Structure 1
Amino acid sequence: MAYEFVTTERRGNILIVTMNRPEVYNAVHAPMHNEMSQIWDEFAADPDLWVAILTGAGDKAFSAGNDLKYTAQGGKGKPPETGFGGMAMRFDLEKPVIAAVNGFAMGGGFEMALNCDIIISSETAKFALPEVKVGFFAAASGVQLLSRQIGRKPAVDIMLTGRHVMPDEGKELGFVNQIVPADQLMAAAIAKAEEITAVSPSAVKATKRVLNAMDELENLKASLNYSRQVIMDLRETEDFKEGVTAFVEKRKPEWKNR
């Protein structure tokens, strides 16, 4: 099926999903969220697809995250119930997804990578949760996933400063599995996907089912729903409005703390 903002390619039992808005660094707006949700629905339902690879078009960005300019301009559309990129609130996917991070992964872009089971990073990638710099917080699973995947103390440092994390630090912290030169990224991601397709798909799904159950025991869904409530409260603050406006106007925000 053809999509407007995402491309897909099948290679045997592997699905390659490419976020395709390079002109805005693959930032995600409501129509793209919904396309991605549909793609993950179809991936989950197709018995001939066993592993997916998620990457971004171009050589600059995996994804810049939420399309703030689209939001600020009153862009229409509602994201799906499955959350950011159709992934953040998807709790029952029993097939692995590999993130091939080809450039910067910011905000929701980083959160989509964290939602994947394996992260393979280009040497030129950068990771950040910079939402605090524009009056947001990492509400699309960043708070929960990063703190669980690398531990609370280093995660808090990244979340509260919004600083950039380079691939070598990401690997040291534990959220990056492998770092490769940019021109070898997709080959490495496909090689890893082929490793997974070489083993029992039933056993892989069983493993994912137990991992999903662990998320349920840790109340991940309840925590993400609480994040949604908090972000709605944050939207009513002056800091939120100032952060978005300053971002669009490319100036330093003037925080009011109210």
Structure 2
Amino acid sequence: MDVKLERLPGQVACIRIDRPEARNALNAAVRERLAEIFIEIAQDETVHCAVLAGTDKVFAAGADIKAMATAEPVDMMLRAGERTWAPLKDFPKPLIAAVNGYALGGGCELAMHADIIIAGEGARFGQPEIKVGIIPGAGGTQRLVRAVGKFKAMKILLTGEPIAAREAEAMGLVSEVVPDGEVLDRALALARQIAAMPQLAARKIKELVLQGSDLPLEAALLLERNTFQLMFGTADQKEGMAAFLEKRAPSFTGR
């Protein structure tokens, strides 16, 4: 199996791409399996946070060029790649990408579907599609601009050259850089920390950040204000504030 799902203690799911012979290239089978897994864990109430990783050597080095080299436009339309990306885009729970090695092309786009990116010192990010005569096709021209701004994104997109983890962190593409051997452990520790938080609040924060980024500021602030008020109808709000006042650890139920 090229993609493995493991449910871990602490209400965390770990999804790993393991196709080292192809540097974890995202062929149709891998994308289909990722879609299946994210649909499954989105509906699994025992999973509060997910970690997406590759191997210790590579996250995902792009799409499978061999499968696309002779394709025609109709072939690409019939593949309906957006269908397999949708379960990641619409995943309602916090998602952390643990990136070792290359995250290029589709691999960089895959990482950008996450809410937090933990990268190893040796990680490299890039959108090299221009070098083979195409453009990014899974959000690279859109999510990258939103993450790092027009001028940094244009340099990455138009040169096709990868950037190092520290540079990616400085421009806002990466949340945190750690030694290569600590990437997955750090991502899982962070996932456990987030999984222990009130789950309705965590999901609403993700929802607001993603929806609000495409709205005018006043509309986004109204959405935030309405959601803030609704949180006072949750059991976790009552428990969290009572625990704070009573100086004890809270016991959240996700309700």
TM interval, shorter chain, is 0.7 to 0.9
Alignment equivalent of 2:59, drawn from 58, 62, 78: 62
Deviation for aligned residue 1:215: 4.9
Taking the aligned partners of 1:156 and 1:167, their CA distance within structure 2 comes to 18
The TM-score with structure 1 as length reference comes to 0.76
Instruction: Judge conservation of contact 1:6–1:32 (CA < 8 Å) in 2.
Output: yes
Residue deviations 1:213-244, cap 9 Å, x none?
225538xxxxxxxxxxxxxxxxxxxxxxxxxx
Q: Counterpart of 1:149? A: 147
Deviation for aligned residue 1:194: 1.4
Taking the aligned partners of 2:87 and 2:27, their CA distance within structure 1 comes to 12
Taking the aligned partners of 1:27 and 1:146, their CA distance within structure 2 comes to 20
> Which secondary structure state, in structure 2, belongs to the residue aligned with residue 147 of structure 1?
helix
Q: Counterpart of 1:190? A: 188
Taking the aligned partners of 1:187 and 1:60, their CA distance within structure 2 comes to 15
Instruction: Judge conservation of contact 2:117–2:175 (CA < 8 Å) in 1.
Output: yes
AA aligned to 1:6 is V
Query: Relative to structure 1, is the Cα distance of residues 81 and 140 closer, same or farther in structure 2, using a 3 angstrom cutoff?
Result: closer
Q: Is structure 2 residue 93 aligned with structure 1 residue 72?
A: no
Deviation for aligned residue 1:84: 4.0
* 1:126-205 mapped onto 2 (5 Å cutoff): 126-205=124-203
Q: Counterpart of 1:110? A: 108
Taking the aligned partners of 2:109 and 2:86, their CA distance within structure 1 comes to 9
In structure 1, runs of 5+ residues without a counterpart are 219-258
Instruction: Judge conservation of contact 1:34–1:86 (CA < 8 Å) in 2.
Output: no
Instruction: Judge conservation of contact 2:127–2:140 (CA < 8 Å) in 1.
Output: yes
AA aligned to 1:68 is I
Taking the aligned partners of 1:139 and 1:214, their CA distance within structure 2 comes to 23
Alignment equivalent of 1:8, drawn from 5, 8, 20: 5
Query: Relative to structure 1, is the Cα distance of residues 86 and 68 closer, same or farther in structure 2, using a 3 angstrom cutoff?
Result: farther
Query: Relative to structure 1, is the Cα distance of residues 146 and 127 closer, same or farther in structure 2, using a 3 angstrom cutoff?
Result: same
Taking the aligned partners of 1:213 and 1:45, their CA distance within structure 2 comes to 21
RMSD: 2.1
Deviation for aligned residue 1:210: 1.3
Q: Counterpart of 1:211? A: 209
Flag the structure with larger Rg. Answer: 2
Deviation for aligned residue 1:78: 3.2
Instruction: Judge conservation of contact 1:34–1:79 (CA < 8 Å) in 2.
Output: no
> Which secondary structure state, in structure 2, belongs to the residue aligned with residue 61 of structure 1?
coil
Taking the aligned partners of 2:152 and 2:199, their CA distance within structure 1 comes to 34
* 1:78-97 mapped onto 2 (5 Å cutoff): 78=79, 81-84=82-85, 86-87=87-88, 90=89, 92-97=90-95
Identity rate of aligned residues, in percent?
36
Instruction: Judge conservation of contact 1:98–1:118 (CA < 8 Å) in 2.
Output: yes
Query: Relative to structure 1, is the Cα distance of residues 80 and 33 closer, same or farther in structure 2, using a 3 angstrom cutoff?
Result: same
> Which secondary structure state, in structure 1, belongs to the residue aligned with residue 83 of structure 2?
coil
Taking the aligned partners of 1:15 and 1:210, their CA distance within structure 2 comes to 23
Taking the aligned partners of 1:101 and 1:85, their CA distance within structure 2 comes to 21
The TM-score with structure 2 as length reference comes to 0.77
AA aligned to 1:182 is D
Instruction: Judge conservation of contact 2:32–2:84 (CA < 8 Å) in 1.
Output: no
Taking the aligned partners of 2:188 and 2:144, their CA distance within structure 1 comes to 25
> Which secondary structure state, in structure 2, belongs to the residue aligned with residue 217 of structure 1?
coil
In structure 2, runs of 5+ residues without a counterpart are 217-255
Query: Relative to structure 1, is the Cα distance of residues 184 and 85 closer, same or farther in structure 2, using a 3 angstrom cutoff?
Result: farther
